[in-house]
Amino acid sequence: MESLKKSHLFRCCVFLFCVHLRLVVTGDCPADGRTWVPFQDKCYYFVHGEEDKIKSYTFERAKSLCQHPLELLTIQSAEENDFVVKYSPAVWKGQVNVWLGMYYDTDSKWFGEDPVRFTNWEGGSYASELMPLETCVALHSSTGKWENVSCVDQVENGVICETSQKPSVLLSALVILSVVAIIGVSAVIWFLHQKHSLGTSILTAFEYHPPFRVLDTDRSCLVEAEETDAMA
């Protein structure tokens, strides 16, 4: 029973550590002087007027502002779409149409830097066989809805660059130290458990056992037998 309790305690410690590791291990956004906003496992840079006063971007211009290792915004979930909508008013005033890093392919599929797994079309906007090849997508910051626009003739007033978060060196070191600490504590618990088990075995081997004693009933039987022999 004691061994089961210790094993259960160890498993609980490992589970809590894994949960803590998932919550703590996050990455760092680029330190390039721009204002990067972290969300989930990515970082986002909302291009604003102080850097580009024109505030009128063609699709090619938008891509040039998000050169490798950066990417033009590609939205992969409803949560990411909501994040862009909620944060946009902190950067821009009024209605902003944001270029998305996706366009219509010759294979009749939407694609960008990443496969398109989520869409949020407005009204009748959607991918179809009749759509021109030079068709791109813009997101309305006020509603979060997507609209088909021309990649060549259209200009929009919003650009968002994104990039993956990089692992933090400090947090990585803390994680390694935490793993070492858990292994050390587990080793101590195992050693104490083994020591306790060994001590119990030794005490059991040297436990005092009283000498054999004849029970009173057996003794009475012997006395009666002796009396019977004497009378004979």
pLDDT of residue 159: 96
Residue 82 has pLDDT above 50, yes or no: yes
User: For the chain, which residues make up each domain, given as ranges?
Assistant: 1-28+168-180, 30-164
- Identify the top-confidence range among 80-84, 195-199, 214-218: 80-84
Tell me, what's the pLDDT at 207?
55
Q: Which helix (H) or strand (E) holds 138?
A: strand 135-140
pLDDT tens digits along 92-118: 988 899 999 988 776 667 777 667 889
Topology of 30-164 in CATH? Answer: Mannose-Binding Protein A; Chain A (3.10.100)
* pLDDT value of residue 25: 46
- Give yes or no for a cis peptide into 69 (omega within 30° of 0): yes
What DSSP letter does each residue of 94-119 carry, written as one string? S--EEEEEEEE-TTS-EEESSB----
- 125 pLDDT band, cuts 50/70/90, is low
Task: Examine the pLDDT at 122 and tell me if it is beyond 50.
Answer: yes
Tell me the per-residue pLDDT of 178-193, one tens digit each, with 9 for 90 and over.
767 778 777 777 677 6
Supply the angle between the helices 169-205 and 2-24 in degrees, to the nearest 10: 180
What burial class does residue 136 get, using C-beta atoms within 10 Å of its C-beta: 0-12 exposed, 13-18 middle, 19+ buried? buried
pLDDT of residue 24: 43
Per-residue pLDDT, 129: 63
What digits encode the pLDDT tens for the residues 6-49? 554 455 445 444 434 443 445 789 888 889 999 999 999 999 86
Of residues 229 and 46, which shows the higher confidence score?
A: 46
Instruction: Judge contact between 124 and 87, C-beta under 8 A.
Output: no
Whole-number mean pLDDT of the chain? Answer: 76
pLDDT digits (tens, 9 = 90+) for 208-227: 555 555 455 555 555 565 55
Structure-token match 């906007």, residue found: 125
Instruction: Give the C-alpha separation, 192 to 206, whole Å.
Output: 21
